Amino acid sequence: MPSLLKDLTHGLVHLFYPRLCEGCSKPLLAAEEVLCISCALEVPETNYHHIPDNETELRFAGRIPFAHATSFAYFTNDGLLQHLIHGLKYKDKKETGYYLGRRFGHSLLSADWASSIDVIVPVPLHPAKQAKRGYNQSMLIAEGLSEVLRKPATDKILLRTRDTESQTHKTRAERVDNMAGAFKVGKENNLTGRHMLICDDVLTTGATLEACVLALMAHKDVKISIATIGIAIS
């Protein structure tokens, strides 16, 4: 009887407040989340974690030391992933962050290096910006990754020290200058010997992630890998 009542309640809620696919706006089935099965198959996955010298790695090569770097899917203007990330960042679609993190996590399970990760670290927002938005989208992604990979995620290791200007219309050099010294490591963290996976929403020039890695590399004997949901492709 409790199960029947639960199913009935779920059915009534879905009738009056249907969950809609973020891709096609059709009602979702009970087992579907964020995207229907058809739209989920339309997310352009990269499978970079199986490709040596992939595009994500190449964007950081020679700039910072890292163990591995990968992105879940291609991010293009007006593409499905762009729509999902926009909703996550600006329309309070927090469930999209968990969903994308979990999907990325399931994909990374097949990477031989994922099991060596000790902790998942999201790129932090400045406290003022996070207070305005109400959440850090990268932390939601990190929590989705954490659930699948069974590795802890924390926003206490890497901290943002200043509220930087928007990177949107800056050149790569301007982005690097804008992010210089924008992050620090929390005083109580002992990072020695740890393999940290830094995660973010979209990779463009990589200036923000580069600044994060440099802050973490100030501590000796750390290993850092990078994971982003999207990689911007022009």
pTM of the complete model beyond 0.85: yes
Contact 46, 71 (CB under 8 A): yes
pLDDT at 13 over 60: no
- Would you place residue 12 in the very low, low, confident or very high pLDDT band (cuts 50, 70, 90)? very low
pLDDT digits (tens, 9 = 90+) for 39-90: 999 999 999 999 999 999 999 999 999 999 999 999 999 999 999 999 999 9
Q: Look at residue 64 and give its three-state secondary structure.
A: coil
**pLDDT-derived band of residue 225, with 50, 70 and 90 as boundaries?**
very high
Summarize pLDDT for 154-167 with one digit per residue, the tens: 999 999 987 765 65
Domains of the chain by residue range: 1-42, 44-232
Distance CA 200, CA 23 (A): 22
Residue of 129, 189, 181 whose CA lies nearest to 154? 189
Give yes or no for a contact between 206 and 177, defined as CB atoms under 8 angstroms apart: no
Q: 130: pLDDT confidence band, cut at 50, 70 and 90?
A: very high
Q: Looking at 6-10, 22-26, 109-113, 162-166, which range is the least confident one?
A: 6-10
Q: Tokens for 219, please give them.
A: 């501590």
Higher local confidence (pLDDT), 7 or 75: 75
pLDDT on residue 66: 96
CA distance 200 to 90: 16
Question: What CATH number labels 44-232?
Answer: 3.40.50.2020
What are the residues facing 231 on neighbouring strands? 74, 203
β partners of residue 64: none
